[in-house]
Amino acid sequence: MATVLMVIQVLVALALIGVVLVQHGKGADMGASFGGGSSQTLFGARGSATFLSRVTAVLATLFFATSLGLAYLSARPHSVPSMTRLVQHTAPAAPAPQSAPPPSVPGIPVHKAP
């Protein structure tokens, strides 16, 4: 369930980024009024603003809903596997390495701890 929500959230985020980048800023109409020539767009003079703003609102609502869903799932115990649980279940614990005695260097005495 969490994986499905994550995939949906990434797709909605990418769509939201695309829709926001397609929109014109508030000052874009000012340039068109001084002879820009491209004041009529694919959706009409004012139609693009309402269409794109509605799409932005829907995508933002979906993004917030998936964020809340993921937050809810992560608050529940054992709902979303964390990396530590994945590592503990998949990799057996390795035995502790045996400490080797320090190498002896000729001419330097080796002192052992009492």
> For the segment 63-97, what is each residue's pLDDT rounded down to a tens digit?
999 999 999 988 877 655 555 555 555 555 666 66
Domain chopping of the chain, boundaries: 48-74
pLDDT of residue 45: 55
- Higher pLDDT residue, 33 or 14? 14
SS3 letters for the chain? Answer: CHHHHHHHHHHHHHHHHHHHHHCCCCCHHHHHHHHHCCCCCCCCCCHHHHHHHHHHHHHHHHHHHHHHHHHHHHHCCCCCCCHHHHHHHHCCCCCCCCCCCCCCCCCCCCCCCC
Structure confidence by residue, pLDDT tens digits, 23-75: 877 666 555 555 555 545 555 555 556 888 899 999 999 999 999 999 998 88
pLDDT of residue 62: 96
